[in-house]
Structure 1
Amino acid sequence: MAVHVKLLAADLLSLAVHYTSRPPSFTRKGKPVSRAEAVGVVVSRERKDKYLSFLVDDGSGCIPCILWLNHQSDRERDLGVAAEMAREEAAAVQLGKLVRVRGRITAYRGVVQITVGDVVVERDPNSEVLHWLDCVRLAKFCYDPPP
């Protein structure tokens, strides 16, 4: 099971990208990071046939996100379910909505982004502040422990 690291946009966008491996790998202060979770407001949205790209602003920066709508699968039945879920998630991503995004950290044309695994609209207006507090606490005690 992969762990989604709670990160602020400023931290996510400052990850070190290592292009020596395929796909590229990412580190935060020397520690490998492959999946992330972020909470913020959708400030940009562009839908194409195969994907939805959007920006999530958490107050520390804007995180580019991509949600693929044409999932690849070995089983046709799984393909239909995954594609339907992606379309439902894409419909929920609207400008001004507070969302929680989780997914793989990827790079496209040199820009760090989240390839979305799931996105949900947050109903609790406090969730953004609580995410910020979690990020600060985790950075202090887990991600960047004192020497």
Structure 2
Amino acid sequence: MDPEEEPPSLLWGLDPVFCAFARLYVRDILQMTESAQVPGIFFYNLHPIFKVDVLGTVVYRREREDFFCYGVDDGTGVINCLCWKSEQLKEEGEDPSKSGGKRSDAAQGGFDPVAELTKLKRAQRERRCVEIGELLRVRGPVKTSRYREREITASAFYKVDDPVMAVQISWMMEVPQLYRECYDKPFQLQPDAAGDSSVSSLSRAINTIKDFLQQKSVSRFRPYDVQDLLEPLISRPPQTASADQEPVAGPSVCGQLRQLLKEALKSLVDEGIVYRKVKSQDEVYLVTAQDKDLLMAVKDVIREDSKREKYAEKGCHILHILSAVRQRFSLNVSREALELVLKSLECNSDIISTSDSHYTAF
């Protein structure tokens, strides 16, 4: 990456990915470019990253006096993980079974805190001693070793017991969604101190309308219902000092307000938060999450088509559901709006997702 393309370090904290353990594929961790401003910070799609969260199979294991080196393979690549030993693991000469023998006899038939502590230490030791072929989860900052190889210095690591692969399946479903919704969208902020006033006004307008729809539980509205809410966001022209001065030419306040409202509504439609069931001169916008008719239409499509032999095993694909809803309900339903409806129905246990893009009814 060209150093000039990096966002200034003062803006990194505005990206939520910077403060989180990013669940990236090992392939992407190995290919990330290191920052030219601050060593130890890496960039993926302009997202500043220094902490990652990895789940994979141990393919090699090396032990030293103070740490373990595990090679973790998540299916896209192998990365070295440096895992420091705890004090309990370093005390190899201590035999937990010999400690507190007399107390155990005295406490026979009751609760023995020494014996329970011994069991806890043994369980902790077993969870931290990982063998080749076992599943390991590692969280920590990314480093570049002295051999110029990328590795993870673990701040936390543990063996994952996953006999039916439930954890791995859940992981494989969550990570692609994080990529779509976050990592694959570049981090875009204006680096200048003044910022872009038009972008700032648009984002504030969108948030203002969202707050209004949520607080009032609005199911439908027209543009003039929310137009007054955006009036404080319009910058008014400065007052002329005297009558001799001519006013500065530029768009009127009403024109700016209408343009801002138009752009805000377009962004809300693109996000799927609102939609228009019928496009006519009477602009009526329906709130996707509050439209019971749309929720019922999607639910009926999934319930009816899931009974067909073609979709009985895996469920209905999202594109099939979208096509059916457009034919039976409205041509203006977008995929983004449908995804919000599917998420709402799944949260209410009306439907269940059988894969990343397939849904079936209970």
Pairwise same-fold verdict (TM > 0.5)? yes
1:128 aligned partner: 168
Distance in 2 between residues matched to 1:85 and 1:93, nearest whole Å: 12
Shift in CA distance, 123/112, structure 1 to aligned 2, threshold 3 Å: same
Distance in 2 between residues matched to 1:27 and 1:145, nearest whole Å: 13
Shift in CA distance, 31/85, structure 1 to aligned 2, threshold 3 Å: farther
Partner AA of 1:99 in structure 2: L
Shift in CA distance, 6/57, structure 1 to aligned 2, threshold 3 Å: same
Cα offset, 1:35, TM superposition: 0.7
2:68 aligned partner: 52
Cα offset, 1:90, TM superposition: 7.8
2:278 aligned partner: none
Distance in 1 between residues matched to 2:52 and 2:88, nearest whole Å: 23
Mapped pair 1:94 → 2:131:
yes
2:154 partner SS: strand
1:11 partner SS: helix
1:83 aligned partner: 87
Distance in 2 between residues matched to 1:11 and 1:53, nearest whole Å: 20
| Structure with more contact order per residue of length (Cα contacts < 8 Å, sep ≥ 6) | 1
Contact 2:139 2:156 in 1 (8 A): yes
Distance in 2 between residues matched to 1:90 and 1:122, nearest whole Å: 8
2:49 aligned partner: 33
Partner AA of 1:117 in structure 2: S
Contact 1:89 1:118 in 2 (8 A): no
1:61-88 deviations in Å (ceiling 9; x for gaps):
112100123xxxxxxxxxxxx5337883
Cα offset, 1:128, TM superposition: 2.1
* Structure 1 runs of 4+ with >2 Å offset: 18-21, 82-92
Partner AA of 1:94 in structure 2: E
Contact 2:127 2:159 in 1 (8 A): no
Partner AA of 2:169 in structure 1: V
Cα offset, 1:133, TM superposition: 2.1
Contact 1:89 1:119 in 2 (8 A): no
Mapped pair 1:118 → 2:156:
yes
1:62 aligned partner: 78
Distance in 2 between residues matched to 1:86 and 1:107, nearest whole Å: 26
Structure having the larger proportion of residues in helix = 2
Alignment of 1:6-21 (within 5 A): 6-18=23-35, 20-21=37-38
1:127 partner SS: helix
Distance in 1 between residues matched to 2:52 and 2:178, nearest whole Å: 13
RMSD (Å), alpha carbons: 2.6
2:175 partner SS: helix
1:142 aligned partner: 182
Distance in 2 between residues matched to 1:20 and 1:123, nearest whole Å: 40
Partner AA of 2:151 in structure 1: Q
Structure having the larger proportion of residues in strand = 1
Shift in CA distance, 86/137, structure 1 to aligned 2, threshold 3 Å: farther
Partner AA of 2:23 in structure 1: K
Shift in CA distance, 100/25, structure 1 to aligned 2, threshold 3 Å: same
Contact 1:67 1:90 in 2 (8 A): no
1:88-136 deviations in Å (ceiling 9; x for gaps):
3784221111111111111112211110111122122232232222221
